[in-house]
Amino acid sequence: MRKETRIDMVERAFKLLDNNDTTRVDDVYLSPVASYTCKDWLALEQDILFKDYPQLVAFSCDLPKAGDFITNDDLGVPILIVRGKAGDINAFFNTCRHRGAKLANGCGRAQAGFTCPYHAWTYDFTGDLKVLPDQVSFPGVDKAEHGLVKLPVVEKYGMIWVCPTAGKDFDIDAQLGGLGEGLVEDLESYQFADYHPYTQRRMHCKMNWKMMLDTFLEPYHFAPLHPTTVGPLMYHNLCLLDTFGQNLREAVIRKSIQKQRDQPKDTWNIVPDSALVYLLFPNAGLVMQRDHVELWRSYPVPGKPNECMVQMDYYIPEPAETQSAKDHWERNMDLAVRTVLEEDIPGVEGIQVGLSSGAISHSTFGRNEPALIHFQREVARAIGRA
């Protein structure tokens, strides 16, 4: 984050605190319950948001060496992402050109390439077909034309995006609100390529995929829902919001920010005394904490508006090599787990039951929930339901 932004955001936070205020938009927003319960609405989201848009699939540090690969089955198509020998990144359908078997599962480090478990067609890290056993039985089948089907992929700012539709190239800077704009500058400054994956969690939740992100988009729930976890550390119902196209940056403020009042303005810095939530449209919530970063991704379950798959990846600045480092990060993780897994998710699953009951026709988002409103509005707009 640029120095001027770090200072400016502290100044904005102090102003809101002094006035017992928060960032407010002009009006309440009525969000139709159908956006969380309707199968047609979900089908539109899947077709548009999860097929046409670049998807954040990994941090660069998840794939540090040649041959490192991950697979992704959360986007409706099987995807294989691998780092090549020249350090480049490649993405393909995880689908053999012979008869369609899945080439790889999970994640790992491949030695020379990918050998299909079914009949052993073998591909290199660029997707080229290198070995076709009993080639005499495949007259007219040119190996050069039977490489893996590529998907558009971009690695930038220590992050990797893939579009799950072949041929649909994308401009990630434009999607992030523009080159030189605040969001791109922030991402660049954090140097995620130098982070280390610490741990991850996957959860099948009984709620609409958007609700997982909603829970990060307002601190209006901090005091009631988190009285013993993050509630005592953060200001309740106080946020800063900046939007960048369909994306946003929301800062929720730690009470520890008060100590900066006594420090020269030139040294003010929002980063250590806030949690910065970036909503990277459509489905990634990046939470910059003072000492680590969490990536929360939420994926729809086809045909089931009231279910989702959630993946949380937890990255740390230095590898945890000693026991005391491991203990430190376990304690740190525990707060995130207790807050989100034991408080937010059960709370939000309760909301899903309420919305699915038909009791109400719309949710009422307050003027003090501007990030939530921005997200819902952008989703509705993107699928033509605004």
Which member of 91, 96, 151, 333 binds ligand FES (CB under 6 A)?
A: 96
Partner in contact with 344, chosen from ligand FES, Fe ion, none, beta carbon below 5 to 8 Å by kind: Fe ion
Site for ligand FES in 326-355 (CB under 6 A): none
Which member of 21, 27, 40, 118 binds ligand FES (CB under 6 A)?
A: 118
Q: Tell the smallest beta-carbon distance from residue 104 to ligand FES (Å).
A: 12
Q: Does 131 bind ligand FES (CB under 6 A)?
A: no
Partner in contact with 179, chosen from Fe ion, ligand FES, none, beta carbon below 5 to 8 Å by kind: none
Q: Does 116 bind ligand FES (CB under 6 A)?
A: yes
Q: Contact region for ligand FES (CB under 6 A) — 92-100, 150-158, 176-184, 285-293?
A: 92-100
Tell me the CA distances in angstroms from 374 to 146, 217, 306, 371, 378, one per residue in order.
Answer: 44, 9, 21, 5, 6
Given the complex with ligand FES, which of 80 and 277 has the nearer CB atom?
80
Q: Does 214 bind Fe ion (CB under 5 A)?
A: no
Tell me the CA distances in angstroms from 213 to 216, 287, 372, 374, one per residue in order.
Answer: 6, 11, 9, 12
The DSSP result for 51-91, as a single string, is: TTS-EEEEEGGGS-STTEEEEE-TTSS-EEEEE-TTS-EEE
**238 Ramachandran zone, left/alpha/beta (phi>0; psi -120 to 50):** beta
Q: Does 119 bind ligand FES (CB under 6 A)?
A: yes
| Spatial CB neighbours of 267, under 8 Å, sequence gap ≥ 6 | 260
Q: Tell the smallest beta-carbon distance from residue 153 to ligand FES (Å).
A: 22
Q: Does 378 bind Fe ion (CB under 5 A)?
A: no
The DSSP result for 184-230, as a single string, is: HHHHHHHTGGG-EEEEEEEEEESS-HHHHHHTTS-STTHHHH-TTTT
User: Could you tell me if 345 and 353 are in contact, meaning their C-beta atoms sit under 8 angstroms apart?
Assistant: no
Site for Fe ion in 287-346 (CB under 5 A): 344
Q: Tell the smallest beta-carbon distance from residue 222 to Fe ion (Å).
A: 7
Partner in contact with 109, chosen from Fe ion, ligand FES, none, beta carbon below 5 to 8 Å by kind: none
Q: Tell the smallest beta-carbon distance from residue 226 to ligand FES (Å).
A: 49
User: Could you tell me if 56 and 159 are in contact, meaning their C-beta atoms sit under 8 angstroms apart?
Assistant: yes
Given the complex with ligand FES, which of 119 and 265 has the nearer CB atom?
119
φ, ψ at 265 (rounded to 5°): -55, -35
Tell me the CA distances in angstroms from 10 to 257, 346, 358, 376, one per residue in order.
Answer: 8, 33, 43, 27
Given the complex with ligand FES, which of 116 and 348 has the nearer CB atom?
116
Per CB under 5 A, residues contacting Fe ion are 344
Per CB under 6 A, residues contacting ligand FES are 96, 98-99, 101, 116, 118-121
